[in-house]
Amino acid sequence: MDSLRLAEEISKEAVKKGVTCDILLEVNVAGEESKFGLAPSETEKLAQQIAVLPGVRIRGLMTIAPFVENPEENRVYFRKLRELSVDIAGKNIDNVYMDILSMGMTGDFEVAVQEGATFVRVGTAIFGQRSYPV
């Protein structure tokens, strides 16, 4: 999740169905133009805005680091996301739980786990490389 508008839509639908949706805020820690997500500096403000919406609960943060040959190059981004998570958790915002940190993919998940990831995405390791039609 990276916008208040989307959070409001999810909130509206969750209330209709009488459920609470757990969400993660997507942070573009590396500042890549090709990726979605909030700037780290915008994350706490959006968390505060979403926290008051009914039917949604912020469980943590997620990021997709740059594709690199050497996984160590992404350590700085994973560390920054963890530090941001700790900072937001320290604010004790109602309805904001920083217990999930989703970062790391098949090529760099070990470094992500070392930096605090609780969720990793390893689809390529399980299913193989994607094939994109030309």
Bridge-based pairing of strands 56-62 and 21-26 is parallel
Write the CATH number for 104: 3.20.20.10
pTM listed for this prediction = 0.90
- Is residue 45 scored above 70 in pLDDT? yes
Read off the pLDDT of residues 81-120 as tens digits, 9 standing for 90 and up: 999 999 999 999 999 999 999 999 888 999 999 999 999 8
Residue 77 lies in a domain: yes
Phi (first) and psi of residue 63, to 5 degrees: -150, 160
Instruction: Say if residue 39's pLDDT is above 70.
Output: yes
What is the mean predicted confidence (pLDDT) over 27-45? Answer: 94
Which pLDDT value is given to residue 130? 74
Is 32 within the bounds of a domain?
A: yes
In a domain, 134, yes or no: no
Q: Which domain holds residue 36?
A: 4-127
Q: How many structural domains are present in the chain?
A: 1
Domain for residue 133, yes or no?
no
The CA distance from 130 to 105, in Å, is 14
Are the C-beta atoms of residues 35 and 69 closer than 8 Å to each other? no
Compute the average pLDDT of residues 10-38. Answer: 95
